[in-house]
């Protein structure tokens, strides 16, 4: 299972949305979701949380997951299991990841996260 997440935040009003792309057995499942008003870093954590909630709701626990994010702060925080400024969001994310069999988190450049990025942009206009 591959999970790609991204957040988009409108600079004018701080509205945010998540783009979630799940790839399972070659099949793509696309989701977009409005997030609480926040700054972009918080929105990236909230998008990752939404992604894992969606994965667990759609496919159940005990999945082996490759998690891709273009947010360095999310990827590094998960890797270290520590974040000074996003401790609550990180703990929520780690709790969701613990329900999976294994999670391998990878940072990818924005250019390789186009699907989730497009979904997040579309989510801003819901």
Q: Where are the domains of the chain?
A: 2-123
33-74 pLDDT, tens per residue? 999 999 999 999 999 999 999 999 999 999 999 999 999 999
Separation of alpha carbons 59 and 56, rounded Å: 5
Distances (CA, A) of 7 to 12, 118, 122: 15, 10, 11
Structure tokens at 89: 């969001």
Q: Is the confidence at residue 115, as pLDDT, over 80?
A: yes
Q: Is the confidence at residue 126, as pLDDT, over 80?
A: no
More confident residue, 125 or 30: 30
- Segment holding 92, helix H or strand E: helix 87-98
pTM of the predicted protein model: 0.96
CA angle 100, 53, 60 (to 5 degrees): 50
Q: What pLDDT score was predicted for residue 12?
A: 86
Q: Specify the CATH number of the domain 2-123.
A: 3.30.420.10
CB atoms within 10 A of CB 9: 21
- Segment holding 69, helix H or strand E: strand 64-69
């Amino acid at each position: 299972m591959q999970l790609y997440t991204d957040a988009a935040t409108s600079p004018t009003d701080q509205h945010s949305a998540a783009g979630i792309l799940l790839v399972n057995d070659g099949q793509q499942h696309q989701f977009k979701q409005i997030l609480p008003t926040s700054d972009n870093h918080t929105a990236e954590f909230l998008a990752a949380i939404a992604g894992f909630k969606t994965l667990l709701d759609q496919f159940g626990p005990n999945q082996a997951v490759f998690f891709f994010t273009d947010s360095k702060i999310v990827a590094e925080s998960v890797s270290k299991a520590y974040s000074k400024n996003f401790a609550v969001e990180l703990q929520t994310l780690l709790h969701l990841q613990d329900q999976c069999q294994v999670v391998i988190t990878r940072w990818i450049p924005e250019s390789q996260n186009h699907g989730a990025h497009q979904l997040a942009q579309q989510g801003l206009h819901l």
